Structure 1
Amino acid sequence: MTLIAVLVFFGLALLGTPLAFALGLGSVAGLMAGDIPMTVLPQRMMHAVNSFPLMAIPLFMLAGELMVKAGIMQRLVEFSNAVVGRLHGGVAHMGIVAGMMLAAVSGAAVASASALGSALVPAMRRNYDDGFSSAVIASAANLGAIIPPSNAMIVYALMAGSSVSVGGLFMAGVVPGMLLTIGFVVLSSFISWRRGYPLTGRPFSFRHLLRETWRALPVLMMPVVVIGGIVGGVFTPTEGAAIAVIYAMLVGFFLTGKLRLSDLPSSLFRAAVGSAMVAALIAFAAGLTFLMTVDMVPAAAADFLQGLTASPMMFLVLVMILLIVVGMFIESNAAYIMLVPILAPIAVAYGIDPLLFGLLFVLNLVAGMMTPPVGVVLFVMCGITKVSMASMIRNIWPFVAVQYVVLLMCLLVPGLVTWLPRILGY
């Protein structure tokens, strides 16, 4: 019955059917094939989304929406310009640095892509071609799913159960996120030099940097307060997300003065729609996960892989290859929901650090968000910039390669992932 459910899901997904609906029909088909009462499906759906940690996702999304409405993008852009100075690819560097800082606010790649694309692409187009400008902003936006707080890590931790904590995953993403940022900056400099793009950006001035740092300080303090509180055990990730919403409202109403009461309904609506998509995937996938459990799929998969190889490193390599393929064709949230309950327990059985496996899993699927044919960040950027998908794909491959290089570094040097969480007691 699990096989029937999976075949129905993949068949509908490949036909372009929305993933949540495909998961639901796949689950129904599996239940019917197994002669299981249909009442199981709504019970499993309700149980899956009735989760306190899951509430962090809509709250972090709302905080990101409010911070954008509060006018933080302009302050982040000006601060990034002051940090970068005048260089080959200076405006591209500014966009990447702004993306890194926005990632610590939004927690989602799609939200970052919308904010960065609207604010920075017009300025970049004055200096670079459209394809390169869009690829840079897409790469910067993708940092939103790696640098904490990350909604992807929350979903992974929820699906993995008690083997890994959200706070631990957040800290595991800090060093890889910084490596990605540095890699994107170096690549942008090289491409700008090779293509003969002009020097861009404002000449560096220490006085100007101090002034812009002071102006951006309230925004920069938000991730310090929220992530610091979660890591320090002062509050849970869900409570931290609620504090982020309050912080965003205080900044918007009393500091920048750009947030209005009339902005709240639209912000709430967009956050609700975004989080509802994730919740629908989790709810409908619960039926499919139930069928896999009943049919002993995780145990069978564990026996198969352990019979195939006894090496934890070879297991990791096989999983990474699988996820590269999966990331090209399946939306990342659906992949977390379907694969984490199967693969995370097997990784524990191999003796692999749960934080390492979780970060590698997330980083791989995050790279898939920029990989055609189902790269959601690519579609968002094409919609914002009106750049053709062909032009976007030609320019995005070097940035995708950087993400896989960082993935390989984390695979070969696990300390890049586990060092910071271990220092903090995870």
Structure 2
Amino acid sequence: MVPAVIGAFFLLALLGMPLALSLGLASVGGLWVGDLSLSVLPQRMMHAVNSFPLMAIPFFMLAGELMIRGGIMERLIEFANSIVGRVRGGLAHVTVLSSMGLSSVSGAAVADASALSATLVPAMRRSYDVGYGSAVVAASSNLGPIIPPSAAMIVYALMAGSSVSVGALFMAGVVPGLIMTVAMMITCTVLAKLRGYSLTGEAFSLREVARQTKRSFIVFMMPVIVIGGIVGGVFTATEGAAIAVVYAALIGFFVTRRLSLADLPPALFRAAITASIVGALIAFASALTFLFTVELVPMRLASAIQAFTADPTVFLLLVMAMLLVVGMFLESNAAYIMLVPLFAPIALEYGLDPIYFGFLFVLNLVVAMLTPPVGVLLFVVGGVSRLSIGEMVRNVWPFILVQYAVLALCFFFPPIVTTLPRLLGY
């Protein structure tokens, strides 16, 4: 039954049906073939989405929307420009740093890509070729799911159960996120020199840096309060996300004064769309997970893998290689929902640190958002800049290599991932 269900899912997805509906119809078929009651489907769906941690996703999405509409994003860009705007490839560096700042609130690569594309692609078009500028935006958007908060890590923790906490995964992403930021800025510098891009922006001035720091200080306090409160146990990830929404709204209304009541309905609408897509995937995939459990798929898979190798490093390499391929063809949220319940328990049996395994799992699928043919960031940024996927790939491949190099670094040196969470008591 399981091979038929998986085959039906991929067939429906290849025919162009939305992934959530593909999962749902494949699950219905599996229940019918397995002579199981169809009443299981609504029960499992409701149980899956009736989750307090899952509520953090729409709140973080809404906080990101309010940052963009409230002029907060512009302050981050101006601050970054005051520091690195005059170096070689300065606008690209500004994009990377701005994405890092936006990532500390939004937690989603697609949201970051949409915001940065509309704001920075037109500016970079005037100084660089549009393909390079679009590639920088797409690549830097991947900081969203790595630097906390992260919607991807919330979904992973939800699907992995009690083996790993959201806060632990958040902290695991801090050091790798900073490493990836520096690595991409180095890449931007090298590419700018190779392509002969001229200097842009105003000359560096400590007075201007101090002025922009003062203007942006209240913005910088948002991730400090939100992430610090979550890690310190003051409030949960969901409560922290709600606080981020209130904080962003207060800044937008009373500090930048760029946010109006008319901005709230479209911000709520966009946040609701993103959250509903994730919720639908989780709801429909829960029935598929139930079928896997009934058919003892996790136990059989664990036995097969353990019979193949007893080495946890080999197991981890196999999983990473599989995710590299899966990420090219399957949307990342669907991959978390389908694969985490299968592999997270097996990783525990191999004695792998659940924080280490979980972060590598997330990072692998995050990088896959840049890889064709289903690299969602390529479609988002390419749509704004009116570039074909082929042209996007030709420009983004150096950044893909850099991000996979960071993944390899985390793989071979686990303390990069685990030290900070352990210091904080996770």
- TM bucket (normalised to shorter chain) is over 0.9
Q: Distance in 2 between matches of 1:315 and 1:206?
A: 51
- Structure 1 outlier segments of 4+, above 3 Å: none
Displacement of 1:13 in angstroms is 1.0
Q: Distance in 1 between matches of 2:194 and 2:6?
A: 47
Matched, 1:124 2:124: yes
Displacement of 1:199 in angstroms is 1.4
Unaligned runs of 5+ residues in structure 1 are none
Larger mean CA deviation between 9-18 and 268-277 belongs to 9-18
Instruction: List per-residue Cα deviations over 1:138-160 (Å, max 9, x = no partner).
Output: 11111101100000000000000
Q: Distance in 2 between matches of 1:267 and 1:94?
A: 25
Aligned residues: 426
Displacement of 1:86 in angstroms is 1.3
Displacement of 1:362 in angstroms is 0.3
User: Are the counterparts in 1 of residues 108 and 150 from structure 2 also a CA contact under 8 Å?
Assistant: yes
User: Are the counterparts in 1 of residues 160 and 340 from structure 2 also a CA contact under 8 Å?
Assistant: yes
Instruction: List per-residue Cα deviations over 1:162-195 (Å, max 9, x = no partner).
Output: 0000000000000110111011100111011001
Alignment partner, residue 56 of structure 1:
56
Q: Distance in 2 between matches of 1:140 and 1:83?
A: 18
Displacement of 1:387 in angstroms is 1.6
Matched, 1:198 2:202: no
Q: Distance in 1 between matches of 2:50 and 2:36?
A: 23
Q: Distance in 2 between matches of 1:64 and 1:385?
A: 21
Displacement of 1:206 in angstroms is 1.1
Give, as a single letter, the amino acid of the residue that structure 1 aligns with 2:391.
S
User: Are the counterparts in 2 of residues 5 and 28 from structure 1 also a CA contact under 8 Å?
Assistant: no
Alignment partner, residue 16 of structure 2:
16
Displacement of 1:115 in angstroms is 0.6
Matched, 1:112 2:112: yes
- The alignment partner of 1:87 has SS state of coil
User: Are the counterparts in 2 of residues 2 and 288 from structure 1 also a CA contact under 8 Å?
Assistant: no
Alignment partner, residue 365 of structure 2:
365
Q: Distance in 1 between matches of 2:264 and 2:199?
A: 40
Instruction: List per-residue Cα deviations over 1:26-61 (Å, max 9, x = no partner).
Output: 101100110001000010000000000000001111
Instruction: List per-residue Cα deviations over 1:50-99 (Å, max 9, x = no partner).
Output: 00000000111111111111111211111001121411111100110001
User: Are the counterparts in 1 of residues 86 and 204 from structure 2 also a CA contact under 8 Å?
Assistant: yes
Instruction: List per-residue Cα deviations over 1:272-302 (Å, max 9, x = no partner).
Output: 1110000000000001000000000001110
What does 1:183-332 align with in structure 2 at a 5 Å threshold? 183-332=183-332
User: Are the counterparts in 1 of residues 85 and 91 from structure 2 also a CA contact under 8 Å?
Assistant: no
Displacement of 1:367 in angstroms is 0.3
Q: Distance in 2 between matches of 1:295 and 1:137?
A: 43
User: Are the counterparts in 2 of residues 79 and 216 from structure 1 also a CA contact under 8 Å?
Assistant: yes
**TM-score relative to the length of structure 1:** 0.99
Larger mean CA deviation between 1-10 and 125-134 belongs to 1-10
Give, as a single letter, the amino acid of the residue that structure 1 aligns with 2:389.
M
Give, as a single letter, the amino acid of the residue that structure 1 aligns with 2:214.
W
- The alignment partner of 1:351 has SS state of coil
Matched, 1:94 2:125: no
User: Are the counterparts in 1 of residues 382 and 392 from structure 2 also a CA contact under 8 Å?
Assistant: yes
Q: Distance in 1 between matches of 2:236 and 2:311?
A: 36
User: Are the counterparts in 2 of residues 103 and 149 from structure 1 also a CA contact under 8 Å?
Assistant: yes
Displacement of 1:318 in angstroms is 0.5
Identity %: 63
**TM-score relative to the length of structure 2:** 0.99
- The alignment partner of 2:218 has SS state of helix
User: Are the counterparts in 1 of residues 159 and 337 from structure 2 also a CA contact under 8 Å?
Assistant: yes
Displacement of 1:390 in angstroms is 1.5
- The alignment partner of 2:104 has SS state of helix
Instruction: List per-residue Cα deviations over 1:178-236 (Å, max 9, x = no partner).
Output: 11101110011101100111112322111111100111111111111000000000000
Unaligned runs of 5+ residues in structure 2 are none
Q: Distance in 1 between matches of 2:100 and 2:125?
A: 21
Alignment partner, residue 34 of structure 2:
34
Matched, 1:142 2:142: yes
Alignment partner, residue 399 of structure 1:
399
Alignment partner, residue 383 of structure 2:
383
User: Are the counterparts in 2 of residues 4 and 33 from structure 1 also a CA contact under 8 Å?
Assistant: no
Q: Distance in 1 between matches of 2:212 and 2:50?
A: 43
Q: Distance in 2 between matches of 1:395 and 1:401?
A: 12
Instruction: List per-residue Cα deviations over 1:84-129 (Å, max 9, x = no partner).
Output: 1411111100110001111001110011001111111111111111
Matched, 1:343 2:343: yes
Alignment partner, residue 415 of structure 1:
415
Matched, 1:5 2:1: no
Give, as a single letter, the amino acid of the residue that structure 2 aligns with 1:62.
L
User: Are the counterparts in 1 of residues 85 and 93 from structure 2 also a CA contact under 8 Å?
Assistant: no
RMSD: 0.7
Give, as a single letter, the amino acid of the residue that structure 2 aligns with 1:344.
A
- The alignment partner of 1:200 has SS state of coil
Alignment partner, residue 84 of structure 2:
84
Q: Distance in 1 between matches of 2:71 and 2:388?
A: 29
